[in-house]
Amino acid sequence: MAEGAQVSDGAAVGDHEQHVDEAGERLQKLLAAAGLGSRRTCERLVIEGRVSVNGKQARIGQRARPGLDRVTVDGVPLPAMERFAYYLVNKPVGVICSAPGPKARKSVVELVPQSPRVFPVGRLDVATEGLVLLTNDGELAYRLAHPSFGVEKEYVVRVAGDLSRDVVNRLRRGVELEDGMTSPARVSVLGPRAMRIVIHEGRNRQVRRMCEALGHHVVSLARVRVGPLVAKGLAPGQWRRLSAEEVRSLWEATAGSHLAGEPTGPGASAKGRTGA
Ligand code: URA
């Protein structure tokens, strides 16, 4: 019989827990490093019963192993920064979001470090500039891209021809496209031929098709916000790593808005996963 196979009582389980406790970092240190506040504040989160490790409510003094144990606060996972990489790129026009291929065009994937391998969350057209998140965190990527989680994407669009009040109102109400009606968009007019549009769906070339369906060719399109993340300080072609706090803010952006009746996990449906 293999060593340890007979261990099936409470004492053995307790031994294992003790080992786990001693192996990792103190919870309040991990929580503080993830941007949840000072160590004292984080200790209070544990005392208030808001922290769990591997699905069990954490207790004060407990440790967790970064990248191995699943730590959640109010049910929201702490980003395992050691295992996952998160980059925010300001994609220039002319760069593609699909995987690098033999063709001459550069892929957004080639703009960031090559290890660990990361992939873009959603896609921007080759002619669209702006924010693309790259990560190897599949669960977060799924939530950010799936329309049912309602994560906002904000675009600045310049069109040919002056915008009428009717066109702006129709964009706000939703536009009939060949793949169905779009959800209502938030639109603010920036000038006679420029708008800011906020959507949360991820249809292919959605903003361009919405404008073109209403008779306006898109002259330029830039994604300036993904959920809580904005382009500030990132020139086209530049990238930066997300802070732990920013990763957490992305999880929060996906946490409360999941619509009833929609698929709930990465394997639930491929529909809508191509991003916004
Ligand atoms: N909508 C578009 O039309 N293109 C993009 O790249 C993103 C949204």
Output the CA 246–ligand 1 centroid distance in Å: 24
Same domain, 248 and 203: yes
The protein residue with its alpha carbon nearest to ligand 1, atom 2, reads 205
Instruction: Please list every protein residue whose CB sits less than 6 Å from any atom of ligand 1.
Output: 124-125, 128, 205-208, 221, 276
Same domain, 46 and 143: no
Same domain, 26 and 127: no
Q: Between residues 273 and 59, which one has the greater pLDDT?
A: 59
pLDDT higher than threshold 60 for residue 113:
yes
- What angle is formed at CA 85 by the lines to CA 83 and CA 90, rounded to 5 degrees? 175
The H or E element that residue 190 is part of is: strand 186-191
Instruction: Answer for the pair 184, 172: CB distance below 8 angstroms, yes or no.
Output: yes
Same domain, 40 and 115: no
Instruction: Answer for the pair 83, 69: CB distance below 8 angstroms, yes or no.
Output: no
Q: Please, how many CA atoms are within 13 Å of residue 91, restricted to the half-sphere of its CB? A: 32
Instruction: Answer for the pair 190, 264: CB distance below 8 angstroms, yes or no.
Output: no
pLDDT higher than threshold 60 for residue 268:
no
Output the CA 137–ligand 1 centroid distance in Å: 23
pLDDT band at 102 (very low <50, low <70, confident <90, very high): low
Q: Considering 125, 137, 166, 179, which one is annotated as catalytic? A: 125
Annotation says 125 is catalytic: yes
The protein residue with its alpha carbon nearest to ligand 1, atom 6, reads 124
Structural domain containing residue 18: 10-77
Q: Is 276 inside any structural domain? A: no
Output the CA 204–ligand 1 centroid distance in Å: 7
pLDDT number for residue 258? 55
Last residue of a domain, one of 77, 104, 135: 77
pLDDT for 43-88, tens place per residue? 899 999 999 998 899 998 888 876 667 888 888 887 654 578 899 9
The closest-lying atom of ligand 1 relative to the alpha carbon of residue 125 is: 6
pLDDT for 201-232, tens place per residue? 989 999 999 999 999 999 999 999 999 999 88
Same domain, 131 and 21: no
Q: What is the pTM of this model?
A: 0.69
31: CATH: 3.10.290.10
